[in-house]
A and B are shown apart, each in its own frame.
Chain A
Amino acid sequence: MPSFEQLLEGFLYREGEPGLPGLQWLEDAPVPEASTVEAPHEYLAFQLTDETYAVPIERVREIVKVPVLTEVPRAAPELLGVMNLRGEVLPVYDVRARLLLTQQVKPVGGPEDVPSRSRIVVVRSDDGDAGILADAVEGVARLLPSLTEAAPPGGTQRPYLSGLSRRGERLYILLDVERVLE
Chain B
Amino acid sequence: MSEKKPVTEFLAEATEIVEGLSRELVVLDEHRGEEPEPDRLNSIFRAAHSLKGLSSLFGHERITRLAHVLEDALDALRLGKVMADDALIDAFVDAVDALSGLLTMASRDESEGPAAERAVALAQHIESLLSQGPTPVEDPLKQLGLEPSVLHVLTEYEEHRLRENVKKGVTLYKVRAVFSLDDFDQRLTALTAALKAIAEVVSTLPSAQASDESHIGFDLLTACKQSAAELTRVLAPYGASHALISASTAPPRPRPSAPRPELGSSSELSLRSLAQTVRVDISRLDKLMAAVGDLLLTRSNIKRFAEGARAAGPGGLHPLWAQELAREARALERKLDDLQKGILEVRMVPLGQVFDRLARLVRRLLRESGKEIDFEISGGDVELDKLIVEDLSDPLMHLLRNAIDHGIETPEQRVAAGKSRRGRVRLYATSEGNHVKIEVGDDGAGLDEARIRDEALKRGLVTATKAPQMQRRELLNLVFLPGFSTRKQVSELSGRGVGLDVVKTNLQRLSGLIDIVSEPGQGTTFVLTLPLTLAIIRALVVQASGHTYAVPLNSVLEIVAVRPSELRTVEHRQMLSVRGQTVPFVRLSQLFKLPLVEVQQHYVVLVGLAQHRMGLAVDALLGQQDVVTKPLSARLRDVRGFAGATDLGDRRAVLVLDVPALVSEMMRPADAGMGNL
User: Do A's and B's CB atoms come within 8 Å in the complex?
Assistant: yes
Q: How far is the CB of A59 from chain B (nearest CB, A)?
A: 15
**Which residues of B from 621 to 654 have beta carbons under 8 Å from A?**
630-636, 639-642, 644-645, 647, 651-654
In B649-666, which residues have CB < 8 Å from any A CB? 651-655
Chain A 169-181: CB-based contact to B (< 8 A → 1; otherwise 0): 0000000000001
Q: Which residues of A contact B592 (CB under 8 A)?
A: 73-74
On whether the beta carbons of A129 and B633 are closer than 8 Å, the reply is yes
Residue in contact with A91 in the complex, picked from B636, B641, B644, CB distance below 8 Å: B636
State how many angstroms separate the Cβ of A181 from the closest Cβ of chain B. Answer: 7
- In the complex, are the beta carbons of B636 and A70 less than 8 A apart? no
Using CB atoms, name the residue of chain A closest to B294.
A87
Contacts of B579 in A (CB 8 A): none
Q: Is B5 an interface position by the 8 A CB rule? A: no
Best-surrounded residue of B635, B647, B651, B653 (most CB of chain A within 10 A): B653
Q: Is there contact, CB below 8 Å, between B651 and A84?
A: yes
Bits for A72-83, please: 1 = Cβ < 8 Å to B, else 0: 111100010111
Contact B635 A72 (CB under 8 A): no
The answer to whether A84 touches B639 (Cβ under 8 A) is no
Q: Are B634 and A72 in contact (CB under 8 A)?
A: no
In the complex, A72 Cα to B635 Cα: how many Å? Answer: 12
Q: Specify which chain A residues have a CB less than 8 angstroms from the CB of B594 in the assembled complex.
A: 73
B593 CB-CB contact with A under 8 Å = yes
- Chain A residues 120-159 with CB under 8 Å of chain B are 127-130
A88 touches B635 (CB 8 A): no
Which of A68, A89, A129, A130 interacts with B645 by CB under 8 Å? A89
Q: Are B593 and A73 in contact (CB under 8 A)?
A: yes
Cβ of A63 under 8 Å from chain B: no
- Name A74's contact: one of B631, B639, B647 (CB within 8 Å): B639
Known interface pairs A89-B631, A89-B632; A84-B641 also in contact (CB < 8 Å) = no
Given the contacts A72-B642, A74-B592, A89-B644, A84 and B636 also touching, CB distance less than 8 Å: no
> Residue A71 at the B interface, CB < 8 A?
yes
Query: Which residues from A are CB-within-8-Å of B645?
Result: 70, 82, 84, 89
* Chain A 65-106 residues near chain B, CB threshold 8 A: 67-68, 70-75, 79, 81-84, 87-91
CA distance A173 to B651 in the complex (A): 34
Within 8 Å of chain A (Cβ to Cβ): is B272?
no
Contact A87 B633 (CB under 8 A): no
Tell whether A87 pairs with B647 under 8 Å between CB atoms, given A72-B642, A72-B655. Answer: yes
Cβ-based interface call for B334 (8 A)? no
A35-87 CB contacts (< 8 Å) to partner B? 67-68, 70-75, 79, 81-84, 87
- Given the complex of chains A and B, what is the CA–CA distance between A81 and B653 in angstroms? 9
CB distance from B592 to the nearest CB of A (A): 3
Interface size class of A (residues with CB under 8 A): 20 to 34
Smallest CB separation, B345 vs chain A (Å): 24
- Which residue on chain B has the smallest CB distance to residue A82? B653
Output the least CB separation between B627 and chain A (Å).
12
Q: Which residue of A lies closest to B291 (CB)?
A: A87
Nearest A residue to B640, CB-CB = A74
| C-alpha spacing A168/B92, complex, angstroms | 91
Interface string of B587-612 (1 = CB under 8 A from A): 00001111000000000000000000
Contact B647 A128 (CB under 8 A): no
* B634 surroundings in chain A (CB, below 8 A): 127-128
Residue B547 is within 8 A (CB to CB) of chain A in the complex: yes
Separation of A16 and B640 alpha carbons in the complex (Å): 49
Contacts of A181 in B (CB 8 A): 635
A72 touches B639 (CB 8 A): yes
> B251: shortest Cβ distance to chain A, in Å?
35
| Complex interface: chain B residues within 8 A of A67 (CB) | 651-652
Q: Which residues of A contact B644 (CB under 8 A)?
A: 89
Docked CA distance A89–B294 (Å): 13
Question: Which of A89, A90, A130 has the largest number of chain B CB atoms within 10 A?
Answer: A89
CB–CB B640/A84 < 8 A: no
Is there an interface contact between A74 and B593, defined as CB atoms closer than 8 Å? yes
| Contact A72 B636, CB 8 Å, known A82-B645, A87-B647, A89-B644 | yes
Residue on B with the closest CB to A89? B645
The contact of A89 among B593, B641, B653, by CB within 8 Å, is: B653
CB distance B652 to A84 under 8 Å? yes
Q: Is there an interface contact between B635 and A128, defined as CB atoms closer than 8 Å? A: yes
Question: Which of B290, B593, B631, B652 is in CB contact (< 8 Å) with A70?
Answer: B652
Q: How far is the CA of A75 from the CA of B316 in the complex (A)?
A: 46
Q: Once bound together, how far apart are the Cα atoms of A84 and B648, in whole Å?
A: 11
Query: Is B654 a contact partner of A70 (Cβ separation < 8 A)?
Result: yes
| A135–B166 alpha-carbon span in the complex (Å) | 80
B662 CB to closest chain A CB, in angstroms?
Answer: 11
Contact digits for B496-517, partner A, Cβ 8 Å, 1 yes 0 no: 0000000000000000000000
The smallest beta-carbon distance between B669 and chain A, in angstroms, is: 19
User: In whole Å, how far is B92's beta carbon from the nearest beta carbon of chain A?
Assistant: 48
Nearest chain-B residue to A125 (Cβ)? B635
Q: A75's closest neighbor in chain B, by CB? A: B639
Q: With the chains together, A84 CA to B547 CA distance in Å?
A: 16
Interface string of B557-600 (1 = CB under 8 A from A): 00000000000000000000000000000000001111000000
Q: Which 3 A-B pairs have the closest CB atoms?
A: A73-B592, A128-B633, A84-B653
A-B contact pairs, 27 of them (CB 8 A): A67-B652, A68-B651, A70-B547, A72-B642, A72-B655, A73-B592, A73-B593, A73-B641, A79-B636, A81-B653, A82-B633, A82-B653, A82-B655, A83-B653, A84-B647, A84-B652, A87-B290, A87-B630, A87-B647, A88-B630, A89-B633, A89-B644, A90-B633, A128-B634, A129-B633, A130-B635, A181-B635
Q: A74-B592, A128-B633 are in contact. List 16 more A-B contacts (CB 8 A).
A: A67-B651, A70-B654, A71-B547, A72-B636, A73-B591, A74-B640, A79-B636, A82-B633, A84-B645, A84-B647, A84-B652, A89-B644, A89-B645, A91-B633, A130-B635, A181-B635
Chain A residues with a Cβ under 8 A of chain B: 67-68, 70-75, 79, 81-84, 87-91, 127-130, 181
